[in-house]
C-alpha cells in the first residue's frame, strides 16, 4: 500500500510542477528532456544490482523498456499538440480515461476478478475522472478534424500503463526495478536529444537555464512515480485493475485539491460531484478487490 500512496504523491507533485511551468514560462519540451535525463540518473544511482551499463542491452526487458521510453515522448508530444488544438481539459480526460485499457487487459489477460461491485466502482471511476477533469461549464468541445489527437493520447496513455504492467510482470526481477525504470527514461531522453538536434539544425532552438532547473525539479518525482507504481504492481493484495483504478482516480482527486489550495482554482458543481464519485469508486474497488 505504501508504494501506491507514494506513487500517487509523486504523480500529484508532477501536476504542481507542470502548473509552475506556465507561470515561469518554461520551455516544456526542453524541461521534459532534462527530466528524462534526471530520472535516468536517479535509477542508475539507486540500482544496487550487479548489472553494468554495458550489460543493460543484454537484459530480457531492454528492448521492451526502450520501446516504452520512445512511447513516453511520443505521447508527450501528442499531449502538447492536443492541448494546443483542443485545450487542457481534453488532454486530461483522454489521459485519465485511458485507465480503462489496462483494466480490461488485466481482466482478460490475467483473468482478474470483476464482480458486480468492483465493476460499478470502475464505471464510477471513469465518470468521476471526466466530471472532475472538465473545468468548463459546457463540457469539452473537439473539432472533427482534431478528434484523432485525443484518441491517440487515449490509446498511447493506455498502452504505456498496460505495457508497464506486462513487462514488469513477465521480465523484470525485484532487484532490476530501478535499472528497468531508468532504461525507460534513458530511451525517452535519447529521442528528446534527437529532437533538440533537429531544432539546432533548423535554427529553432533557444536555450535558457531555467529550463534545466525545471527539468531537474520534474525528473525526481517523475522517476519515483514510475518506480513506485512498478513496485505497487507487485503487491499480491491488489490486482492491476484495482490498482490502476485507485491510482488514476486518487491522482485526479489530489491534483484537484492542490489546485484549490495552492492555485485558487474554482470548481463547478460537476467537479465536486466527480470528487464524490471518485471517493465512492475507490471504496468500492478497494473493498471488493
pLDDT digits (tens, 9 = 90+) for 159-215: 999 999 999 989 998 888 999 999 999 999 999 999 999 999 999 998 899 999 999
For residues 229 and 247, the answer to whether their CB atoms sit within 8 Å is: yes
Q: Average the pLDDT over 246-268 and give the result.
A: 88
d(CA 111, CA 239): 10
Per-domain boundaries in the chain: 2-287
For residues 283 and 122, the answer to whether their CB atoms sit within 8 Å is: no
For residues 117 and 284, the answer to whether their CB atoms sit within 8 Å is: yes
Residue-wise burial string across 145-184, b where 16 or more C-beta atoms lie within 10 A, e elsewhere: eeeebbebbbebbbbbbbbbbbbbeeebeeebbbbbbbbb
The pLDDT value recorded for residue 232 is: 93
Cβ within 8 Å of residue 104, ≥6 positions away: none
Query: Which residue would you say has higher pLDDT here, 107 or 52?
Result: 107
Burial class, 20, CB count within 10 angstroms (exposed 0-12 / middle 13-18 / buried 19+): middle
The pLDDT value recorded for residue 259 is: 85
The pLDDT value recorded for residue 141 is: 67
Query: Which residue would you say has higher pLDDT here, 103 or 84?
Result: 103
The pLDDT value recorded for residue 207 is: 87
Q: Which of 49-53, 72-76, 217-221 has the lowest mean pLDDT?
A: 49-53
DSSP 203-232: T-----HHHHHHHHHHHHHHHHHHHHHHHH
Q: Average the pLDDT over 241-268 and give the result.
A: 88
Is residue 51 predicted with pLDDT exceeding 80? no
Q: What is the percent of the chain where pLDDT is above 70? A: 98
Averaged confidence pLDDT in the chain: 89
Cβ within 8 Å of residue 278, ≥6 positions away: 124, 125, 128, 129, 132, 249, 250, 252, 253
pLDDT grade for 140, boundaries at 50, 70 and 90:
low
pLDDT grade for 139, boundaries at 50, 70 and 90:
low
pTM of the predicted model, to two decimals? 0.89
For residues 119 and 246, the answer to whether their CB atoms sit within 8 Å is: no
Is residue 79 predicted with pLDDT exceeding 90? no
pLDDT grade for 61, boundaries at 50, 70 and 90:
very high
The pLDDT value recorded for residue 145 is: 77
- For residue 60 the three cell numbers come to 530480457
Q: Which of 89-93, 242-246, 278-282 has the lowest mean pLDDT?
A: 89-93
Amino acid at each position: 500500500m505504501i508504494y501506491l500512496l507514494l506513487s500517487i504523491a509523486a504523480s500529484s507533485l508532477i501536476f504542481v510542477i507542470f502548473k509552475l511551468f506556465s507561470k515561469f514560462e518554461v520551455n516544456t519540451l526542453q524541461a521534459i528532456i532534462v527530466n528524462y535525463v534526471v530520472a535516468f540518473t536517479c535509477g542508475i544511482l539507486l540500482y544496487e544490482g550487479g548489472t553494468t551499463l554495458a550489460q543493460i542491452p543484454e537484459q530480457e526487458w531492454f528492448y521492451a523498456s526502450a520501446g516504452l521510453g520512445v512511447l513516453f515522448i511520443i505521447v508527450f508530444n501528442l499531449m502538447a499538440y492536443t492541448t494546443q488544438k483542443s485545450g487542457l481539459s481534453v488532454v486530461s480526460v483522454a489521459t485519465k480515461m485511458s485507465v480503462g485499457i489496462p483494466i480490461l487487459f488485466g481482466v482478460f489477460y490475467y483473468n482478474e476478478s470483476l464482480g458486480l461491485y468492483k465493476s460499478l466502482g470502475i464505471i464510477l471511476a471513469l465518470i468521476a475522472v471526466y466530471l472532475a477533469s472538465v473545468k468548463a461549464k459546457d463540457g469539452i468541445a473537439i473539432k472533427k478534424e482534431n478528434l484523432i489527437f485525443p484518441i491517440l493520447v487515449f490509446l498511447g496513455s493506455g498502452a504505456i500503463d498496460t505495457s508497464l504492467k506486462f513487462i514488469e510482470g513477465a521480465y523484470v526481477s525485484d532487484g532490476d526495478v530501478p535499472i528497468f525504470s531508468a532504461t525507460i527514461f534513458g530511451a525517452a531522453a535519447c529521442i528528446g536529444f534527437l529532437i533538440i538536434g533537429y531544432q539546432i539544425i533548423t535554427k529553432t532552438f533557444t536555450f535558457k537555464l531555467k529550463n534545466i532547473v525545471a527539468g531537474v525539479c520534474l525528473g525526481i518525482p517523475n522517476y519515483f512515480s514510475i518506480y513506485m507504481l512498478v513496485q505497487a504492481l507487485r503487491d499480491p493484495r491488489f490486482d492491476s485493475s484495482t490498482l490502476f483504478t485507485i491510482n488514476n482516480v486518487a491522482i485526479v482527486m489530489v491534483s484537484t485539491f492542490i489546485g484549490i489550495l495552492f492555485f485558487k482554482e474554482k470548481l463547478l458543481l460537476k467537479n465536486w460531484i466527480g470528487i464524490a464519485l471518485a471517493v465512492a469508486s475507490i471504496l468500492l474497488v478497494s473493498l471488493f478487490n
